[in-house]
């Protein structure tokens, strides 16, 4: 997108187009791959397919502490008495074998002796010298974990593009994988802009406000597993903004600014971005967040979020998060959640709207969402009182209680 001769950016794109552009850019700027220790891999996006090299379990073993036996040796009525011929604890295999009428002591996870096919729990047996009396009989296979019942060698375990959950990372560890190929995480610089901003803890002069977006953005980014670097508050000084933006773009993968992207006299960022680099889009048919700006300077992607706190939240959750995830190679889109509205809703425009809301369950256990009554993208209390955004599509203007809407969970 390029400015017209007057330096304006007249176009407004739909939210769907904005998302498409974000995803295309993210794909084109996918971050390089690095190998990291499997213990560190939770939350990272896998960059390789994982194929099992071994079976899981890798040998037949006991699921209980007890005695390993042959099910066919049990008496058809009354107690069974077997001869205790050894002990196999979890750890190095003693390669024990049992023959007819014999059993071994065994602990959970210990290799099953050859010949054994069942385990009787120790609570159901009585030991007298080398004799073991079984108080219960078990079917063949009881409490035995079979080799390969979970995973077979050659099984495709995980696909590239998955964000590794703790269970997935530990599955890789259980297959003996010490390190995994993942995409590097983006480095992110955060700028808040505005002559009116002061850091919390300072004294406010009339007309000034505390910088809350810096805290919001840093915490949103940390929740994504990133480690943002917040630069000092930028005053509305285009020369200084230009210098710092260029510096940050040299050193970071992503630069996120907030404020200074609307149509006010002090909103310099769109013009600066077009001079220093490129604009992918400016202004999206969404509410809040309409003046959202996206472009690049050199190798850095620059996301210019509007200054109003709720706009920061909505644009970050809907576009910023997708950019950062896409750059890390995340293949799967976020799971879409839907909930039943607890009250009627109206909107008086044809943009996509993101309302703050709170999720809970009704007596029928179906997810429901209550829109927060606070309107206005400056009202942070409504955001703090909510846990999701309701996604209201462009074409619909009215909803009644019980209608199903899409919701986007903050977390
Ligand atoms: P702007 O987009 O710069 O015109 O800012 C829009 C609104 O958001 C104004 O009311 C600003 O004072 C407010 N705002 C901008 N940046 C911040 C910030 N970092 N923290 C809190 N409010 C902000
Ligand atoms: Mg401003």
H/E/C letters for each residue in 35-53? Answer: EEEHHHCCCCEECCCEECC
The pLDDT of residue 303 is above 90: yes
Is 48 in contact with 34 (CB distance < 8 Å)?
no
pLDDT (mean) for 162-180: 98
Contact status, residue 311 vs residue 213, Cβ threshold 8 Å = no
Q: Residue 311 is encoded by which pair of tokens?
A: 């706009």
Mean pLDDT over the full length of the chain: 95
Answer whether 388's CB lies under 8 Å from 408's CB.
yes
Band of residue 335 on the pLDDT scale cut at 50, 70, 90: confident
Task: Find the length of the chain.
Answer: 411
Of the chain, the percentage scoring pLDDT greater than 70 comes to 97
From atom 15 of ligand 1, which residue's Cα is the shortest distance away? Answer: 307
CA of 324 relative to ligand 2 center, distance in Å: 24
pLDDT attached to residue 6: 46
The rounded Å distance from CA 305 to ligand 2 centre is 11
Task: Give the pLDDT confidence score for residue 332 in this predicted structure.
Answer: 83
Cβ atoms 286, 292 nearer than 8 A: yes
Answer yes or no: is pLDDT of 234 > 90.
yes
Closest ligand by atom to 216 CA: 1
Estimate to the nearest angstrom the gap between the alpha carbon of 119 and the chain centroid: 41
Atom of ligand 1 nearest to the CA of 212: 20
What six digits make up the tokens of 200? 């919390």
Q: Which ligand is nearest to the CA of 308?
A: 1
* pLDDT at residue 276 tops 80: yes
Residues with CB under 6 A from ligand 1: 192, 194, 196-197, 209, 211-214, 258-262, 264, 306-309, 378
Give residue 84 CA to ligand 2 midpoint distance, Å.
Answer: 81
Q: What is the pTM of this model?
A: 0.92
- Other beta carbons less than 10 A from residue 32's beta carbon: 7
pLDDT in tens, 122-149: 999 999 999 999 999 999 999 999 999 9
| % of the chain with per-residue pLDDT over 90 | 91
- Assign 9 a pLDDT band (cuts: 50, 70, 90): low
Please identify which residue in the block is written with the tokens 């219960």.
136
* pLDDT for 336: 87
In angstroms, what is the span from residue 153 Cα to ligand 1's centroid? 56
Interval 59-83 mean pLDDT: 96
Bridge partners (DSSP) listed for residue 198: 210
Does 272 score more than 80 pLDDT? yes
């Amino acid at each position: 997108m390029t400015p017209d001769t007057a330096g304006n950016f007249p176009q407004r794109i739909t939210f769907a187009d904005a998302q498409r552009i974000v995803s295309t850019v993210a794909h084109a700027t996918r971050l390089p791959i690095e190998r990291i220790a499997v213990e560190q891999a939770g939350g990272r996006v896998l960059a390789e397919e994982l194929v099992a090299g071994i079976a899981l379990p890798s040998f037949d073993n006991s699921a209980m502490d007890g005695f390993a036996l042959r099910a066919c040796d049990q008496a058809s009525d009354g107690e069974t008495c077997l001869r205790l011929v050894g002990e196999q604890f979890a750890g190095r295999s003693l390669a024990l074998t049992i023959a007819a009428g014999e059993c071994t002591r065994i602990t959970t996870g210990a290799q099953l002796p050859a010949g054994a096919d069942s385990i009787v729990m120790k609570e159901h047996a009585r030991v007298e010298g080398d004799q073991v009396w079984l108080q219960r009989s078990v079917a063949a296979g009881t409490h035995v974990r079979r080799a390969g019942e979970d995973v077979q060698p050659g099984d495709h375990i995980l696909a590239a593009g998955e964000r590794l959950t703790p269970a997935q990372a530990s599955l890789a560890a259980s297959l003996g994988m010490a390190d995994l190929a993942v995409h590097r995480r983006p480095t992110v610089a955060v700028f808040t802009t505005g002559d009116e901003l002061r850091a919390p803890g300072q004294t406010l002069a009339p007309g000034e406000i505390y910088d809350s977006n810096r805290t919001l953005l840093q915490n949103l980014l940390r929740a994504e597993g990133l480690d943002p670097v917040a630069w000092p508050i930028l005053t509305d000084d285009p020369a200084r903004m230009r210098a710092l933006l260029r510096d940050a773009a040299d050193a970071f993968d992503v630069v996120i600014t907030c404020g200074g992207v609307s149509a006010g006299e002090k909103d310099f960022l769109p013009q600066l971005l077009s001079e220093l680099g490129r604009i992918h889009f400016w202004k999206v048919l969404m509410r809040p967040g309409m003046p959202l700006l996206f472009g690049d300077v050199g190798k850095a992607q620059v996301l210019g979020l509007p200054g109003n706190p709720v706009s920061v939240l909505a644009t970050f959750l809907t576009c910023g998060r997708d950019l950062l995830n896409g750059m890390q190679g995340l293949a799967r889109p976020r799971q879409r959640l839907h909930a039943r509205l607890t009250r009627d809703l109206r909107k008086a425009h044809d943009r996509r709207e993101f309302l703050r809301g709170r999720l809970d369950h009704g007596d029928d256990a179906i997810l429901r969402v209550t829109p927060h009554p606070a309107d206005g993208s400056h009202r942070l209390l409504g955001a703090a009182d909510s846990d999701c955004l309701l996604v209201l599509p462009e074409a619909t203007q009215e909803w009644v209680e019980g209608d199903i809407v899409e919701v986007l969970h903050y977390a």
